[in-house]
Chain A
């Protein structure tokens, strides 16, 4: 049937066929498929580990990367990182320290290489590289000068079950220089295909202990520990200083008065109270000496109130991580944990000294003075006797005076 129709219609269809061909050549536009937004492609040049490997002056750091097993991560072109690298001079300083002096600074390069490649535990190397690597790009211009520093996550995971719980590092910038934690940044903004490289003076190793255990191990902080215990009485959870100091993702600075500082305070407090009550200097002296002789246990007695001790401890803690280098060269006040209760409290006064880019000392001054009286901040400043003790959850500095919040 169809062939018959076709045959008969042949003549009539000819012009139609022509028309069809004309029309056929003008096709309807196909519906556009959604145009994907182009995925970001790695920048030009080498990826981070390769870039380090290609720089002869970073050869020891490159060995550290190899030892750490993190080269593949740093060469992952799909990701972006900021790497705080250490040049050979800085690596020698690090190896010298890490080897406990076994590798002297003057040793041949091969000795340093061998130490890194063979002696340094892989886990330590991995920890260092993960700690010196921040996810995402952070150019030097993105590091703010605001006090005290910028808290940025590193690649170290603190909780294997929760990828959001990571260790932080603290880059900063001030009028003197720029720092990774308390280590000066010596060179900035070297671009790599998958990130950015800054150089730091030497390795800033990841902290491995919590403040609580570090403070517990300090022989000169027994009064502080007793004071914390007293301050925590009646408190629960993270309201306890002790718990906060033992909480991995807290971020604290402790200005830790040593035992001598507390003894001075105890003596002074008892003496002034007894003298005020009796008017007898000798009695006051005896009782004050007895109080000091009672040791840290005195802070647990009814001779002092919990509130007083709690206030003093809060005044020695900050909710940020303040390295010596983060402090200003001109004295300035900064809030402490006491500001959580007394928002308008003027805080603690800090002043740092620098030699070159390195911070070398600081003083801390409290609002109150001892003995009582005098204008605010007119008392003697506390000097730091041990600085930048870095824990996972903060930093502590040992100071030689107890600072009074009022």
Chain B
């Protein structure tokens, strides 16, 4: 209840802001009510014929006209028509369509709508930006409806995406998951577009969506559509590995108050946390249609839990931004660098930096010190802290959204909406970041007509108190005991122990104990004080805080000319202008002197024509220009061939590309280990003097002889993809088969390459030299691979409707990569095979009140590559399940569910959190 009060309070605040807007609307309302008063008013109620519950959000339209309405949360409707009689079309997804003729306004219209369990009837928009049946989509598309979400075993709606065919999800933390298709998975994918109600949902400073931390609340999700693979032709640069569109419920259609309370438990095995911890997920949506012209909604959601943690403590041998897992732990490897252990990235060669200087001071020890082998480095890392010790376990995600919808005319709807979210989460980039108090808002003003739309929106990001866990802990170590002192103690104790006869192994142990004497325990008052002092200071001023207040502005429009052309040919045109304003105050980008603007604009045209009632050909193209890069044209051609009723073959040629992300253009970040991450902007070459003091490839330096690195033009990367697919209903329309096969060819693929620049004028010739900040520095530069990288794959999905509302779905997909040049990390990061299987029933038993679903997912093992860590990932099996029970009288639903029911810990990206079981019960009111 508290949350409701809180939300109402929030609502009041929001309402105040929009007062002036409302005044305008009210005036408009009065005028329109007066105009409508002349016709007849029809009212009625629509029920589910099976359960006798009021059916909400059912569309009631006048056949052959433009007027219509939706039933409210009780199934009631009421609207005005110009004259009687009229034929009403009553339709809703999941029900059979009904027509009813109304000749008198005196009697209430009572409709019993029959639920249908038929397959392939969903309408999708994303494939062509024009509504069409999913069976007739010219490209692969996956759809998740609100009904799917309601019956899914997933704890949050966003997780449902992971059960779709060909989708991989990279889980950085409980609230930060990144879906991707056809390869190149990562924590936050810059190759996947996510659009929420038409708004690009990326955090503009990061260039990827932070899962659903900012976006729709669960109860407000109408549907999600996923276009796997290349999809830039309609949605613009970025969507090389998929575009996910998440659409909210229109307040005109979905009305009333809904709320859902989920309470769960995580960490019950106490493996990651000292205690089992609760999981809370509360969401609420309140929508009201004030009149036929005006409706609004307020939505909110709060997720709170103790997060999954990165607990990989294996030893990592770092070389720039590459590396491998090696043997050894903190106790046994003096240079141990644990994957999810931070602060231990600080490493020096004890021989060169401490022992040889001692030999100068104490010549009587020199021969002994030399005998330790001056050629062999004695690399020693500082003692780190584990992720669990430094990252606040509390993950919170609070979302607030509001929308005000006003129908200027029955055909034109104006929407003013905003989604705001804040949260704590963890993400993995080149290092692990604790996103603490991240805030992001998206605000939109949109005019929607049947044939056109105009949309303006902005994304306002604020990284809050987010910090780089690695950098912060390293700096914390320095603050507690500066490295010269720490290593001095270490070196002297090490030597003293050797002089006492200790073997090197034990001498290191003694040395570490001495150097670490007085080291504050994680969580102690001293630790917290020092850690906070570092955490709250911006990276540019020697701390670990990254400031990111980058904003994005976008304006777009689209016009469907089909009606204007008498439906002879479908033509769609559109365009947009996008502007990034990078603002990290010098902590992330090279923007210490002021914000950096990046402008992009683009336009698209799509023409579709049906031939012989069997073949529909669609050709589309998009041109985009980024101020820092040459313009790009991305064509797409698709054909749908109707083999038989409800059986379609689809062929497509698609292209996609992306401009280097804002980070790939302008990042300027010291990530420790003597490596600086740079953007590809040519200005960096002058700034870091790379022309007169050349840089050498790390591989050649490691091999012993530096080879100069030559700069090429930095270009956008692109992919050309061919796809063949089939979607059809067989076995009396009870089995839906969806097959696809694709190939993709990536050109100018962007990856990173580490180069070494000498500080002493000589060509660097060893990894140790590259690591030595006194002798050299390393840069990680984004570069294009000149070779073409090929990917290919296929997928098969089967959905079968069993009797008595049972349904079973299985999908298997595969992705592979070819032609990766040696020395380049492609970061393809996908299992060769993955399988999802689901058995479900949403209306079980005589009363049809029970529901359940069980999902199983398996994915093959694969080698995961990233700037943070490279490692083999074992195969993953997960089982999710839920059982639900409806209480129709109170319009409520009870649910018991489990994610990863068998509590089989897994991770899907090296260095990321290990995910265990989450068990929950939920109570939902008026969830539709």
Residues of A within 8 A of B (CB): 1-2, 4-5, 8-9, 12-13, 15-16, 19-20, 23-24, 26-40, 73, 76, 78-81, 133, 135-136, 142, 150-153, 155, 163-166, 168, 249, 251
B505 in contact with A249 (CB, 8 Å)? no
A39 in contact with B875 (CB, 8 Å)? no
Which residue of A29, A34, A165 contacts B875 across the interface (Cβ within 8 Å)? A29
Question: In the complex, what's the smallest C-beta–C-beta distance from B621 to chain A, in angstroms?
Answer: 45
A28 in contact with B875 (CB, 8 Å)? yes
Question: In the complex, what's the smallest C-beta–C-beta distance from A26 to chain B, in angstroms?
Answer: 5
Question: In the complex, what's the smallest C-beta–C-beta distance from A170 to chain B, in angstroms?
Answer: 10
Known: A164-B362, A164-B492. A153 touches B368 (CB 8 A): yes
Contacts of A168 in B (CB 8 A): 364
B501 in contact with A79 (CB, 8 Å)? yes
Question: In the complex, what's the smallest C-beta–C-beta distance from B579 to chain A, in angstroms?
Answer: 43
Asked if B332 is at the interface of the complex by the 8 Å CB criterion, the answer is yes
A152 to B371 Cα, complex, angstroms = 10
Among B311-319, B389-397, B561-569, the one that faces the other chain is B311-319
Which residue of B338, B858, B879 contacts A34 across the interface (Cβ within 8 Å)? B338
A12 to B842 Cα, complex, angstroms = 13
Contacts of A35 in B (CB 8 A): 327-329
Contacts of A4 in B (CB 8 A): 885
A155 in contact with B501 (CB, 8 Å)? yes
Contacts of B495 in A (CB 8 A): 164
Question: In the complex, what's the smallest C-beta–C-beta distance from B410 to chain A, in angstroms?
Answer: 46
Question: In the complex, what's the smallest C-beta–C-beta distance from A160 to chain B, in angstroms?
Answer: 12
A9 in contact with B879 (CB, 8 Å)? no
Question: In the complex, what's the smallest C-beta–C-beta distance from B334 to chain A, in angstroms?
Answer: 10
Asked if B791 is at the interface of the complex by the 8 Å CB criterion, the answer is no
Among B291-299, B656-664, B778-786, B848-856, the one that faces the other chain is B848-856
B907 in contact with A36 (CB, 8 Å)? no
Contacts of A9 in B (CB 8 A): 844, 850, 852, 883
A23 to B881 Cα, complex, angstroms = 13
A73 in contact with B501 (CB, 8 Å)? yes
Asked if B904 is at the interface of the complex by the 8 Å CB criterion, the answer is yes
A168 to B874 Cα, complex, angstroms = 55
Contacts of A24 in B (CB 8 A): 879, 902
A152's nearest neighbour on chain B, judged by CB, is: B368
- CB pairs A–B below 8 angstroms (24 shown): A4-B885, A5-B885, A8-B845, A9-B883, A12-B841, A16-B839, A16-B854, A20-B901, A23-B902, A27-B904, A33-B314, A34-B336, A35-B329, A37-B327, A39-B332, A78-B502, A78-B506, A79-B503, A81-B501, A135-B499, A136-B371, A151-B364, A152-B368, A166-B365
Other A-B contacts than A1-B885, A20-B902, A26-B877, 11 sampled, CB-CB below 8 A, are: A12-B806, A19-B839, A19-B856, A27-B877, A28-B875, A34-B328, A40-B503, A76-B501, A135-B502, A136-B501, A164-B499
Contacts of B878 in A (CB 8 A): 28
Q: Closest 8 interchain pairs by CB? A: A79-B501, A163-B496, A29-B874, A34-B329, A37-B332, A36-B332, A135-B501, A28-B904
Contacts of B914 in A (CB 8 A): 31
Contacts of A33 in B (CB 8 A): 313-314, 329
B330's nearest neighbour on chain A, judged by CB, is: A34
A251 to B362 Cα, complex, angstroms = 11
A136 in contact with B498 (CB, 8 Å)? yes
Which residue of A13, A30, A38 contacts B332 across the interface (Cβ within 8 Å)? A38
A164 to B901 Cα, complex, angstroms = 59
Which residue of A34, A142, A163 contacts B500 across the interface (Cβ within 8 Å)? A163
Contacts of A153 in B (CB 8 A): 364-365, 368, 499
A319's nearest neighbour on chain B, judged by CB, is: B363
Chain B window 865-877, contacts with chain A (Cβ cutoff 8 Å), 1 for yes, 0 for no: 0000000001111
Chain B window 802-818, contacts with chain A (Cβ cutoff 8 Å), 1 for yes, 0 for no: 00001000000000000
A2 to B327 Cα, complex, angstroms = 49
Question: In the complex, what's the smallest C-beta–C-beta distance from B325 to chain A, in angstroms?
Answer: 8
Chain B window 321-342, contacts with chain A (Cβ cutoff 8 Å), 1 for yes, 0 for no: 0000001111111001010000
A31 in contact with B879 (CB, 8 Å)? no
Contacts of A30 in B (CB 8 A): 905
Which residue of B336, B358, B850, B874 contacts A164 across the interface (Cβ within 8 Å)? B358
